Amino acid sequence: MSEPTTTSTTQDKEPSNANNSKSEIISFCSRHSAGIEECLSRYKRKWYLTYSRAYGIAQPPGTRIVCSLNVPDEKVSEEHAKRHFWLNPETLYSAPYKPDDPDYATQKFISSPIHILLDAEPSIVRLTGRTRAEKSRARDAGGKQVACFEVEVTIPEEGLLRQCYYCLGWEDGTERYKPCGDDMFWCPRCESKGSLASGINSTFEKLTRDSLIPFLDRYSFPRDNLYNYS
């Protein structure tokens, strides 16, 4: 509602001004996502498909992670891992991606991550053309090896949906969460609590979730956690 006012007039004339707080979350839909808008999220080398807002279908309510998309690859450079991943989603079932199949255009692979990502509007990723074998994380695969496609993310870093490291809240399309560490973000509420806390302590002390969020506040409802890295 309340747009932050800016005194700079040149800022508004720039077509894409990615490095300021007005940068927008990029949400996308596809014919495979049943009209649901989704986003990409990332923490370090791990990528996620996320709901762009709190849809009632998410279980438990309020959670936003649809599924994780890859097994973090520690062998590639950090820069590469910030733009690429080997698609191996943790899902109930796997669906083969065969765009050359003549029946493909008429098929709907509902909630199949590979189809959602590659048929997304607007376009968000592309295939690099490389594949490699990994143990499938789809539950119907029984741990069998599958060919994983390498995916390049073509949207800017700022377009990813962010989660608050401290209260585990998610961006809701109003105010962007600001960086508060290496690949970490905090919501405006935790940010104000945090700057207060660090103002009181004269020595720098790493803020923890416990110091910012009261015990009951954190555990009264289940939250999903992007930062649960493995």
Which residues sit at the interface with Zn ion, rule CB under 5 A?
A: 29, 121, 164, 166-167, 169, 187, 190
Q: How far is the CB of 187 from Zn ion (least distance, A)?
A: 3
Nearest to 99 by CA among 84, 115, 88, 86: 115
Q: How far is the CB of 80 from Zn ion (least distance, A)?
A: 29
Nearer of residues 140 and 217 to Zn ion, judged by Cβ: 217
Nearer of residues 41 and 70 to Zn ion, judged by Cβ: 41
Q: How far is the CB of 161 from Zn ion (least distance, A)?
A: 14
Distance CA 107, CA 31 (A): 9
Nearer of residues 81 and 164 to Zn ion, judged by Cβ: 164
Nearer of residues 114 and 148 to Zn ion, judged by Cβ: 114
DSSP secondary structure of 90-113? --S------TTSTTGGG---TT-H
Q: How far is the CB of 185 from Zn ion (least distance, A)?
A: 9
DSSP secondary structure of 1-48? --PPP-S-SHHHH-S--TTSTT-----BB-TTTTT--EEEEEETTEEE
Give the dihedral of Cα atoms 76, 80, 82, 85; nearest 10 deg.
-70
Nearer of residues 18 and 104 to Zn ion, judged by Cβ: 104
9 CB contacts (<8 Å, ≥6 apart)? none
* Contact between 133 and 142 (Cβ < 8 Å): no
15: cis peptide before it, omega within 30°?
no
Q: How far is the CB of 97 from Zn ion (least distance, A)?
A: 18
